[in-house]
Amino acid sequence: MGIFDFLTGQFIDVIHHTDDTQDTLVWRFERQGHEIKYGAKLTVREGQAAVFIHEGQMADVFSPGLYMLETNNMPIMTSLQHWDHGFQSPFKSEIYYVNTTRFQDLKWGTKNPIMCRDPEFGVVRIRAFGTYTIRVSDPAVFMREIVGTDGEFTTDEISSQIRNIIVSRFTNAVAKSGIPVLDMAANMDELSNIIADLVSPQLAEYGLEMPMLMIENISLPAAVEEAMDKRTSMGVVGDLNKYTQFSAAEAMTAAASNPGGSGMGDGLGMGMGMAMAQNMAGMGAAAPAAAAPPPPPAEKVWHLAENGKTTGPFSKAALGRMASDGSLKRGSTVWTAGQDGWIAAGDIDELAQLFTVMPPPPPPAG
């Protein structure tokens, strides 16, 4: 190789960039004096874009591929510099590599509770958090609107602004959705899509897009959640009396299966457990219903013996009418079930009163 070939080889530059970080969006290719040899090789890998800034102006943007930096590959630069076809001199320009891959698992969340009106609980405060994904969709717009002259731009420098946009759109979406707080968990995917659609137009102005946004949790204040937990626990317990008895039985079983415990202690523990169960059952059980009245006693019926014949059966009311019209007298013999033989009606206390209430004989006429 001659000396001329060696010197010619020194004018061939190789420009490329690899990145092993997880948060770098833009990196400036550093060169002393930003001087680039005409005919240099530019390598742009998948997931990258190379943006040329010449004398403070946006120039050519290169997508993935291998390029020879010549006039036919740099139309904007050629126009800015008024290069002719035979131009072969070195030139000065800044080269920025833009990472166009997805940056995933970025966090967002509400710093302060959001006030909203719930159809069931009234005015409530809710918090929410989740993750989102972004990627650079337009490197030139992203460089012009966000990066500027920053030599190394990371996701931390833009994430706070994106979080504020997401929270603002989340607040509007929740307020307009009318979805009850208790039903939001079942509608998280729908809310996520709505928020992503609301955020995307503003991110497009920055040269960014949001392929995915997820709501991981929507929560109420701790005091409200505690009250809801108590309400849920009461629903799970159900019958407090049965639950108390079950708990006492569980405690007794645990005590009986403990071989290390003393017999006296176990007996005392079981006794106390049973006493507590009875007391709590008495306190928790509803007031006992009033006892049903006993059924009325079966009415006695009587048979009447007269002239060697029996008639009946007669109820007490019927015998009272017979006593009134004289067909039943004190000496009339009667019998009822359980009675030992025939007895005169006047000798039975229950029937004797039928004769005491009889009206006296009428006064004589005239």
Give the pairing type, strands 14-15 and 65-68: unpaired
Q: Which residue has the higher pLDDT, 258 or 201?
A: 201
270's CB contacts (< 8 A; 6+ apart) are 251, 252, 255, 256
Residues 116, 300: Cα–Cα separation, whole Å:
76
User: Is residue 3 very low, low, confident or very high in pLDDT (cuts 50, 70, 90)?
Assistant: very low
User: Is residue 264 very low, low, confident or very high in pLDDT (cuts 50, 70, 90)?
Assistant: very low
Question: Residue 156 has what pLDDT?
Answer: 92
For 103-223, CATH number out of 3.30.479.30, 3.40.50.12280, 2.40.50.100, 1.20.1510.10 equals 3.30.479.30
Residue 7 has pLDDT above 50, yes or no: no
Report the percentage of the chain scoring pLDDT > 70. Answer: 73
Lowest-confidence region among 50-59, 214-223, 332-341: 332-341
- Torsion (CA) 347, 350, 351, 354 in degrees, nearest 10: 120
212's CB contacts (< 8 A; 6+ apart) are 104, 132, 133, 196
Q: Which residue has the higher pLDDT, 301 or 108?
A: 108
Residue 141 has pLDDT above 60, yes or no: yes
Question: Residue 347 has what pLDDT?
Answer: 81
**Mean pLDDT across the stretch 151-174?**
91
Give the pairing type, strands 208-219 and 152-154: unpaired
Lowest-confidence region among 21-35, 191-205, 214-228, 265-279: 265-279
Question: Residue 289 has what pLDDT?
Answer: 59
- Taking alpha carbons only, the member of 113, 60, 93 closest to residue 221 is 113
Cβ atoms 159, 106 nearer than 8 A: yes
Report the percentage of the chain scoring pLDDT > 90. Answer: 25
**Mean pLDDT across the stretch 63-70?**
88
- For the segment 286-342, what is each residue's pLDDT rounded down to a tens digit? 555 566 777 666 677 878 888 778 887 888 778 778 877 777 888 888 888 777 788
Lowest-confidence region among 82-91, 99-108, 207-216, 298-307: 82-91
**Mean pLDDT across the stretch 229-249?**
67
Question: Residue 182 has what pLDDT?
Answer: 81
User: Is residue 178 very low, low, confident or very high in pLDDT (cuts 50, 70, 90)?
Assistant: confident
Residues 11, 38: Cα–Cα separation, whole Å:
7
Question: Residue 268 has what pLDDT?
Answer: 45
Could you name the CATH architecture of 301-356?
2-Layer Sandwich (3.30)
Topology alike, domains 103-223 and 301-356 = no
Domain ranges of the chain: 3-99, 103-223, 239-256+266-278, 301-356
Residues 303, 341: Cα–Cα separation, whole Å:
11
**Mean pLDDT across the stretch 9-29?**
80
Cite the beta strand spans of the chain per DSSP E.
Answer: 14-15, 24-29, 35-36, 41-44, 48-54, 57-62, 65-68, 91-92, 94-99, 103-109, 114-118, 122-136, 152-154, 208-219, 301-306, 309-315, 333-335, 343-344
Half-sphere exposure of residue 34: CA atoms within 13 angstroms, side-chain side: 12
Q: What are phi and psi of 55, to 5 degrees?
A: 50, 45
Q: Specify which of 23-37, 49-63, 77-91 reaches the highest per-range mean pLDDT.
A: 49-63
Q: Which residue has the higher pLDDT, 357 or 218?
A: 218
User: Is residue 46 very low, low, confident or very high in pLDDT (cuts 50, 70, 90)?
Assistant: very high
Question: Residue 239 has what pLDDT?
Answer: 62
User: Is residue 266 very low, low, confident or very high in pLDDT (cuts 50, 70, 90)?
Assistant: low
Residues 279, 308: Cα–Cα separation, whole Å:
69
Question: Residue 2 has what pLDDT?
Answer: 44
Question: Residue 162 has what pLDDT?
Answer: 94
